[in-house]
Every structure is written in C-alpha cells, then in structure tokens.
Copies of this chain bind each other. A is one copy, B any other.
Amino acid sequence: MINVGIVGGTGYTGIELLRLLAMHPEARVQAITSRSEAGVPVGTMFPSLRGLGLLSELQFSDPAGAGLSRCDVVFFATPHGVAMGEARELVGAGVKIIDLAADFRLKDTAEFERWYKMPHACPDLLAESVYGLPEMYRDAIRKARIVGNPGCYPTAILLGFLPLIEAGVVDVEHLIADAKSGVSGAGRKAELGLLFSEASDNFKAYNVGGHRHHPEVVHGLNGRSKSPVTVVFTPHLVPMVRGILATLYARLTDRSVDLQALYEKRYAGEPFVDVMPAGSHPETRSVRASNVCRIAVHRPQNGDLAVVLAVEDNLVKGAAGQAIQNMNLMFGLPETTGLTAPPVVP
C-alpha cells in the first residue's frame, strides 16, 4: 500500500486526484494540505466525496504539521513555485515527488524564469527530474525521484505530433497546434473571465501571442526531432467543463508515408493511447473522466498536410490521471492500476 500525500488539494487537479485515488487498490491518501481549509474534512469540502470512508473523514491539514515526510509519494497540486520549494526536504527524506505544476517541466531554468517570473529554487533537482509523459520517458520515470507531470495541452499535442516527428516525415519548422480546452483547464479560481455567464454560450481564442505551455511543447518535440521545431500554438476556450481537442497540422515532406500504420505502430501496446480507425473524429466526451488519449490522423484531399486530432480529459490524462500513471510506474505497479474505469458518456 502506497502512502500518498497531496499538497494543495482544493483545486480541480486536487479533487481529481482524490477521486481517482479512491478507486486505486494500492494507494491510500494519508495527508492532504490546505492552509485555508485546515481542519475541514474532505467530504465536507467536496460533498461528492462523502461516504467514501476514511477518505471522506480525512481532514485538510496545515502543510507544517501534515507529516508529508512520512509519505511514500507526494503530489503537488499547487500553483507554480510551491513544489520546488519543498522538494529538497522531501526527497532527502526518501519521498518521491510528482509535481502537477510547472516546476519540473522545463529543463532550461532561464526559460522557466522567463515564463513563470520566478527564479528556480533547485536547479540540481530539476536536472535529475524526469518529464512525466510515459509514452516518451517510461523507463526514466520508473527510476525517477522527481517527476514533472506534463501540462494538459502539451500532453495532447505531444502525443499527437510524436509519430510524425520521430519518423522524420514532416516539416518541423512549420507545425501548427490549434488546441481547444474546456474551462476546468483554467483551474478553480475566482476570475471574471471564467464565470458561467462569461464563458457559457461563447467561444474564443486566447493568449495567441504566447502561452506558458508553448515552451513545454517545443522542448518535448525537440527531444525527438532531428532539427529544432517551430510550433504556432493557438489555445481556445470551449464552453464545456472537461476535455481538450488538439487539431494539429504538419506538412508532409514524405508523401509516401502510411499515416494510419505509422500511428498504430507507434502506439501499439500503449495502454492509454487509442489510435482510432482511419476517418475517425474523436470526441472529447469519449474520454471524459478517463486516462485515455484518442487520436485520429487525416490527410484531407490527399494533399501534403497531415491533420491529427487528439482528445484527452485535461484533468485526467492531462493532469491527475497521468500523475497516477507515473506513480504506478515509480512504484513498480502495473501501469493501469486504478485507472480502468470507463469514460462517462453521455
């Protein structure tokens, strides 16, 4: 039984970790911290988690007295900058760390500082940490002490582009990622733009000039590309709670490639990547509440452009589910442990 700690459990990734861990047969949440909610039981804070026994009764605690160093693994479901401040002490105590924020995603500290407006607190730990996309770095994750869990957009975009990049069949200098996310991706924050009356019955692009997930996508793709990639990334806000669809465009340099076969081969055996039949249009709801990323690849009018459609639940494969997938790898469990509940449709 893995003893789990969660730092910052009152956001959407925090409650999603609780939901998923409640179904995990080999993990047990021992501590969950929140300064503002200290003393409040989980089931009081989140009525959907009432009636789950010990988990419902577990109280949020102040980080100081939470006993995180006695856990086997600690998930950080916190704002950027928290995990790196606590990582050294926990790692020193033998605790594994999975950070759902950005502290351990970008290996280049200068780039981290440019996008997140703070110096990195522990470049040495950053250097040893592993980017937690199992479909790229499974073996390294197994041995990692610190995992930087990928952002929601990068997960879908990387899984969608990787087969093309690795096969070297596209012009990597002109990649386009037109991505659309449900509103929960923005977090549980009281901001005007996220109000129901603002975001409902509405659609828009945002941050076209630059989004924090952009460098993460570039780094990820560069990790498998022969030459440096250039990606234009356009995020959009969809009036739905969960889900990301990334519509990816890449110009083929080798028009003879069998795209369907390429994708099926790349992801053969991957438990959480589903390459759909040729001609498919994956829907976000087809992965709602599950850890699956479904992908379809098209080549409209048999032209020179590959169009890839990749869907995921931003809170699961794009956050909490992938974090648990990483935990399973780090503790030698079957990768799908606790992650097999089917998507919820309708």
Which A positions have Cβ atoms within 8 angstroms of B?
A: 12, 15, 18-19, 22-23, 46-52, 174, 176, 178, 180, 182-184, 188-192, 194-206, 208-210, 230, 232-234, 236, 238-243, 245, 247, 249, 251, 274, 276, 279-290, 292, 294, 298, 300-301, 303, 305, 307, 309, 311, 315, 340-346
Contact = CB atoms under 8 A, between A and B. Distances in A.
B241 A48 contact: no
A204 B23 contact: no
A203 B185 CA distance: 14
B284 A202 contact: yes
Given A49-B343, A183-B197, A232-B305, 5 more contacts: A52-B342, A188-B195, A190-B195, A203-B311, A208-B307
Contact of A285 (B48, B189, B206, B234): B48
B209 A300 contact: yes
A283 to B, nearest CB: 4
Contacts of A294: 47, 50
Total copies of the chain: 4
B180 A180 contact: yes
B301 A241 contact: no
Given A183-B197, A247-B234, A287-B48, A309 B208 contact: yes
Contact of A46 (B22, B241, B298, B345): B345
A204 B245 contact: yes
A48 B342 contact: yes
Given A195-B190, A236-B180, A239-B239, A201 B285 contact: yes
A197 B346 contact: yes
